[in-house]
Structure 1
Amino acid sequence: MLVIIAVMTWLGVKLDKILGLSTPVFTIIMSLLGVFAGIYTAIKDFIKH
């Protein structure tokens, strides 16, 4: 879960830098997507076991 969040946040930071945005729009979006993906994966794993 932590790896998913970290990778998505890193991608958001990189996208913001590449596009030269003054506000961290992609960092916020990608971080939230990472959190939701991590929670989804964790819940899916808990339900399996």
Structure 2
Amino acid sequence: PCAATARDGVLIARFLGPDAAALRAALTAFLIPFRGAALPRVWAL
């Protein structure tokens, strides 16, 4: 599950997951299209 709030020009996104792997997958799925670019290499570790 996730939720988002926009306030004063700032986007606040909240993500929940049953474990770290699921949370990371959800966050990655959001960030790639949001950024419009690949994530930094350190995220591929």
Q: By the TM > 0.5 criterion, same fold?
A: no
- Scaled by the length of structure 2, the TM-score of the pair is 0.39
Larger-gyration structure (1/2): 1
Looking at secondary structure, tell me which structure has more strand per residue: 2
Looking at secondary structure, tell me which structure has more helix per residue: 1
